[in-house]
Amino acid sequence: MLHLKAEPVANEVYARVTRAAQLVREKTGHSPTLATVLVGEDPASQVYVRKKGEMCHKLGLGHRDYKLLPDVTQDVLFDTVRKLNADPEVDGILVQSPLPKGLDEAAVFDLIDPKKDVDCFSPYNVGLLSQGRGTLLPCTPAGVMEILRHNKIDIAGKRALVVGRSDIVGKPMALLLLHAHATVTVAHSKTRDLAACVAESDIVVAAIGRARFLKGDLPWKKDAVVIDVGINRTPEGKLCGDVAFDEIAPKVAAITPVPGGVGPMTIAMLMVNTVRAAMLRKGISYKEL
């Protein structure tokens, strides 16, 4: 059984990002730059934004760090996004989710210039994604595709099951697998016979948000590839995924661990999107990125 770890995949992605960022600098004198906007003091969001900034610095990308008070008005947040949309030095805009209660998250995401929408939340980019013409791809599902590609896991013609249908993970994941020619089933909380879906699936992506929800007693195919997007904490405070790793690992061909599986790929793909956004805006081909 193969452990699909993120580290070698992320390192390969970072090497590509570094080369592409260098190309942008050589051609334009400009460093691809990410602006992060953090509203409030949610500890997990603070950690996520800090890590994104640190990665930009590590790779030689620019990082602008905007921190707004938890009681900021919608108008001030809109103004911040408008200024970043208009700023020629900013290539990518990331407004850290979730926003404090009372702020309209969808309206904020709608306002981000699609060319700078490095999270791929804007309806324009989601539309391109659904047509298979996406340029900025949603980070976590794109990271899963990198794991599959790096490990030479065939997708075309395979039966893929995505458990979860969120806008951030489940739906875009299903679309990316579909565009890679898998036959895709999407399961959710109203799905009647999840075991029957698992029984016929060659690739299973779990994005449920419930600790160890998919268990070893499901009818796993022995050559199945299991990708665990979940990040949960057990009552003891330990990090765990949406699949019961220890129970399932002996029964399948390959599986991602938590932590160290999908998680690190999200930041890696955000860096890809930041450089891609810069290349798109400067008219530089980004195909190899």
Write out the residues near ligand NAP by the rule CB under 6 A: 140, 163-166, 168-170, 187-191, 194, 207-210, 229-232, 242, 262-263, 266
Catalytic site residue from 91, 96, 115, 116: 96
What Rg do the C-alpha atoms of the chain give, in angstroms?
A: 19
Catalytic site includes residue 58:
no
Percentages of the chain per state (helix, strand, coil), in multiples of 5: 45, 15, 40
Catalytic site includes residue 96:
yes
CB of 196 to ligand NAP, least distance (A): 13
Q: With beta carbons less than 8 A apart as the criterion, state whether 57 and 271 touch.
A: no
Locate tokens 């039966």: which residue?
A: 159
CA distances from 158 to 103, 211, 214, 249, 272 (A): 41, 27, 20, 20, 27
CB of 63 to ligand NAP, least distance (A): 19
- Which is closer to ligand NAP, CB of 151 or CB of 191? 191
Instruction: Report the residue number whose CB is nearest to ligand NAP.
Output: 166
Q: Which two tokens stand for residue 135?
A: 């340029």
Q: With beta carbons less than 8 A apart as the criterion, state whether 258 and 8 touch.
A: no
User: Rounded to the nearest 5 degrees, what angle is found at the Cα of 87, between the Cα atoms of 104 and 136?
Assistant: 65
Query: What are the two backbone dihedrals, phi and then psi, of residue 255, each rounded to the nearest 5 degrees?
Result: -155, 145
CB of 212 to ligand NAP, least distance (A): 11
- Which is closer to ligand NAP, CB of 122 or CB of 140? 140
CB of 167 to ligand NAP, least distance (A): 8
Catalytic site includes residue 5:
no
Catalytic site residue from 52, 116, 158, 221: 52
- Which is closer to ligand NAP, CB of 5 or CB of 165? 165
Catalytic residue numbers?
Answer: 52, 96, 119
